[in-house]
Amino acid sequence: DTGVSQDPRHKITKRGQNVTFRCDPISEHNRLYWYRQTLGQGPEFLTYFQNEAQLEKSRLLSDRFSAERPKGSFSTLEIQRTEQGDSAMYLCASSLVGSSSHEQYFGPGTRLTVT
């Protein structure tokens, strides 16, 4: 069990560019979540997958955002035509359906800076 990993850890991009982040959950976890955390605030839910199915998306997730989990393992989050307001920490978490602890295990995050 190597924990949840995210890549890259930091990304600086110019406004208007597209970026893609990757999340590798704990291997046996079937749920995967994306959150966004801006400075001084708590994480805000963006979307989640159960296996490969995307079951819920927040209204925060505009049309410029898309997430996939093609084989029910790793997930990608793509932001098209980035805006300065997209600058934030993007957190990935995973969990196991039926776990008695209901704990979500978080990755280290990808910090996005849009210039």
**Coil, strand or helix at 46:** strand
Contacts of 50 (CB under 8 A, 6+ apart): 30, 31, 97
The yes or no reply on residue 12 touching another protein (CB under 8 A) is no
Whichever of 18 and 51 has its CB closer to another protein, that residue is 51
Please report, in angstroms and rounded to a whole number, the separation of the first and last CA atoms in the chain: 36
For residue 97, give the nearest of 61, 57, 53 by alpha carbon: 53
Whichever of 1 and 14 has its CB closer to another protein, that residue is 1
The yes or no reply on residue 44 touching another protein (CB under 8 A) is yes
Stretch of 17-25, 40-48, 62-70, 78-86 lying at the interface with another protein (CB under 8 A): 40-48
C-beta of residue 26 within 8 angstroms of C-beta of residue 1 = yes
Over the window 92 to 111, marking each residue x when it contacts another protein by CB under 8 A and - when it does not, the resulting string is ---x-x---xxxx-xxxx--
Tokens for 99, please give them.
């776990």
Residues in contact with another protein by CB under 8 A are 3-4, 31, 33, 40-45, 48, 50, 55-56, 91, 95, 97, 101-104, 106-109
